[in-house]
A and B are shown apart, each in its own frame.
Chain A
Amino acid sequence: MDFSQILPALPGLWQGMALTLQLLILAVLGGVALGTLIALGRLSHHRLLASAAKLYVNYFRSIPLLLVISWFYLVVPLVLQWLTGNPSPVGPFTSCLVAFVMFEAAYFAEIVRAGIQSIPKGQAGAAYAIGMSYGQVMRLVILPQAFRKMTPLLLQQSIILFQDTSLVYAVGLMDFLNTARSKGDIIGQPDQFLLLAGAVYFVSSFAASALVKRLQQRLAI
């Protein structure tokens, strides 16, 4: 196999990787934020809120990510149009980002919930006893400890998400995989570029997993 065409294509491939990473970082931040709210909802004493949060998690965990991406690709522009009253063009990037945030939030929520539940109840009781509000208890006492415990799991889930971002291929967004595919097609070496893409995903995921494992040993309480 002739891999000589790969070197000149690297700048273009990097653009694809930049888009993948941008999507990944925004999706993780948004997903963890939304996921934390959902986890708090699931643990709340309001029955309605708790069951709505549970339904959200079960719903997104039982449908394929690819279906969610297609859904949002079609629906996000329409919903925005209804909200703003005029047609607002939304690129596939925004649609995909919304899809990933909503979908991953369900998975992050389960991790955050387990993290919160691993903190002894007495801590919240003590915090309430010295006059803290619910917001203060969560923000100052429970969540900082919970996040420390669950950071490795959140990162592990982010590595899975890194691989799953390749599914934006379905709506034609030029992420790393799609860029590699189209470059390979144009140059006439699709096989080489596909193998390169696979190797890049492998090396980055493998290295990241190894780092997470070391972090886990360090953070262990």
Chain B
Amino acid sequence: MPGGRLECGHARAYLEDSMNYHWNWNVFFQPTGIGKEIYLDWFVTGFGWTVAVALVAWVIALAIGSVLGVMRTLPDSKATSFASAYVALFRNVPLLVQLFVWYFLVPDWLPESAQTWFKQDLSPTTSAYISVVVCLALFTAARVCEQVRTGIQALPKGQSHAALAMGFSRVQIYRHVLLPQAFRIIIPPLTTEFLAIFKNSSVASLIGLMELLAQTKQTAEFTANIFEAFTLATVIYFVLNMSLMKLMGRVEDRLRVPGLMGGK
């Protein structure tokens, strides 16, 4: 199997052998035997990759998703059906299948020079990183699109009619009237998607990118301290999620549209 899938097999065999599990919470401060690293360093590196994947993919997803969401509300039926087809495609194929397509298939379809660059010049980490970011960005864009569309359609029709009557162009209507309000309405569902992208980034571990989950499995393999490694990873994901939720709650409070049911 290409792609460097990490197996839990050894760790599990070890668990099944031994009736007595040796707890050792100091394991994170022990040297890995590679350079001067301790196991905690692996978690820090892994966390860094998780954040690097999630944030970059999120920015792209937000941009593409917003464009698609606007397209779904345009009177032009070609634009609408393109955006609908995009959403249907990316929401009905499992994330893992999409990742495999981006990582194993799409590079083969590139022109010769780009193929050599992607497969040989780039380090395996970089090419895995690019595949994961592209995959998560396009996957999440479909979800962002639906939210943006809902936000725009939630606004009273009279607003765009009034703007039209005042001589606004279509671009101006979206830019000055519809989008600023739509984005403020959809902050809660967008927050859900933002948190999901951090969780979804764990699929990167299945094509060999050493993000948080992959580092956890590797630590479990090396030390046989499976419970400790997985507990730390769980705590990191949990705390990350909770703090991002708190942060977005504050943003939401600040940007609430006055006069709406959700406003003050």
User: Is A194 a contact of B100 with CB atoms below 8 Å?
Assistant: yes
Minimum distance in angstroms from A137 CB to a CB of chain B: 31
User: Is B89 a contact of A202 with CB atoms below 8 Å?
Assistant: yes
User: Is B202 a contact of A198 with CB atoms below 8 Å?
Assistant: no
- For the side of the interface on B, what is the size category? 35 or more
Interface residues of chain A: helix, strand, loop or mixed (majority): helix
B59 at the interface (CB under 8 A from A): no
Minimum distance in angstroms from A15 CB to a CB of chain B: 19
Minimum distance in angstroms from B101 CB to a CB of chain A: 6
User: Is A172 a contact of B7 with CB atoms below 8 Å?
Assistant: yes
The total number of A-B Cβ pairs within 8 Å is 117
B108 at the interface (CB under 8 A from A): yes
Query: Which listed residue, B1, B89, B100, B238, touches A63 by the CB 8 Å rule?
Result: B238
Please report which residues of chain B, range 1-36, place their CB below 8 angstroms from some CB of chain A when the two chains form the complex. 1, 5, 7-9, 11-12, 15-16, 19, 21
User: Is A206 a contact of B8 with CB atoms below 8 Å?
Assistant: no
Q: Please, how many angstroms separate the alpha-carbon atoms of A177 and B242 in the complex?
A: 33
User: Is A64 a contact of B206 with CB atoms below 8 Å?
Assistant: no
A171 at the interface (CB under 8 A from B): yes
Taking CB atoms, residues of chain A closer than 8 Å to B8 are 70, 73-74, 171
B150 at the interface (CB under 8 A from A): no
Q: Please, how many angstroms separate the alpha-carbon atoms of A64 and B95 in the complex?
A: 13
User: Is B206 a contact of A65 with CB atoms below 8 Å?
Assistant: no
B233 at the interface (CB under 8 A from A): yes
User: Is A201 a contact of B19 with CB atoms below 8 Å?
Assistant: no
Given contacts A64-B213, A170-B206, contact A177 B108 (CB under 8 A): no
Q: Please, how many angstroms separate the alpha-carbon atoms of A209 and B87 in the complex?
A: 13
Q: Please, how many angstroms separate the alpha-carbon atoms of A72 and B21 in the complex?
A: 16
Q: Please, how many angstroms separate the alpha-carbon atoms of A89 and B17 in the complex?
A: 11
Q: Please, how many angstroms separate the alpha-carbon atoms of A205 and B230 in the complex?
A: 32
Taking CB atoms, residues of chain B closer than 8 Å to A198 are 93, 97-98, 101
Interface-side segment among A39-47, A143-151, A161-169: A161-169
B237 at the interface (CB under 8 A from A): yes
Minimum distance in angstroms from A135 CB to a CB of chain B: 34
Fill in one digit per residue for A192-219: 1 if any B CB lies within 8 Å of its CB, else 0: 0011011001100110010000000000
A62 at the interface (CB under 8 A from B): yes
Most buried by B among A170, A172, A185: A170
Taking CB atoms, residues of chain B closer than 8 Å to A164 are 94
Q: Please, how many angstroms separate the alpha-carbon atoms of A59 and B238 in the complex?
A: 7
User: Is B15 a contact of A74 with CB atoms below 8 Å?
Assistant: yes
A12 at the interface (CB under 8 A from B): no
Q: Please, how many angstroms separate the alpha-carbon atoms of A89 and B213 in the complex?
A: 25
Please report which residues of chain A, range 48-89, place their CB below 8 angstroms from some CB of chain B when the two chains form the complex. 58-59, 61-67, 70-71, 73-75, 77-78, 81, 87, 89
12 contacts between A and B (CB under 8 A): A64-B200, A64-B213, A66-B202, A73-B12, A74-B11, A74-B226, A78-B21, A89-B16, A164-B94, A169-B206, A177-B94, A195-B101
- If A63-B238, A63-B241, A181-B1 are given as contacts, then 14 extra A-B residue pairs at C-beta distance below 8 Å, sorted by A number, are A62-B241, A67-B216, A67-B233, A70-B216, A73-B12, A74-B15, A75-B226, A75-B227, A89-B16, A163-B95, A167-B96, A167-B203, A170-B205, A198-B97
